[in-house]
Amino acid sequence: MIKVDFNIKNGYLDSIFIGDIRKEDLIEYIDATKINELYPRKLKILTDSKKANMLLSKSDLKDVVDANLKSLQQYDYIIDAIVTKNPKETAYSFMYKELSATKKYRFEVFSTRDAAVEWLEMQ
């Protein structure tokens, strides 16, 4: 499950991944973000995946990156800070970072929510 709430006070999309997360879940989340015209065009995202179990293959990850690149067409840029807890999600996050590198998308991996928020605030 992916819970999403736009934090008006701090100006970022707060996304929490819980339980088993599949490619389809991620693409649905990305597509919902893509069509949401209420979000700022310079979108900051805090992604908390500490309670997630990512069920992805390498080809799934490529499909997620492709969906994200399409979503970027709707934004000036997106800045995404992800919080991970275990080695598997951290590895997926770093692979994703490498695959999704573009001038319109900044993605960093953190081990604590506080560090991720601090980084987002500096962007």
Domain ranges, ordered by start, for the chain: 2-122
Sign of the dihedral through C-alpha 76, 14, 81, 27:
negative
Report, as an integer, the average pLDDT of 73-93.
88
pLDDT at res. 17: 95
**Cα separation values, 73 from 42, 61, 63, 103, Å:** 12, 19, 16, 12
Mapped onto helix, strand or coil, the DSSP state of residue 15 is: strand
Q: Which CATH architecture has domain 2-122?
A: 2-Layer Sandwich (3.30)
Instruction: Indicate the pTM of the whole model.
Output: 0.89
Select from 53, 54, 47 the least CA-distant residue to 82: 47
Quote the Cα angle for 52-15-54, to 5°.
25
Q: How confident is the model at residue 20 (pLDDT cuts 50, 70, 90)?
A: very high
Q: What pLDDT was estimated at residue 63?
A: 92
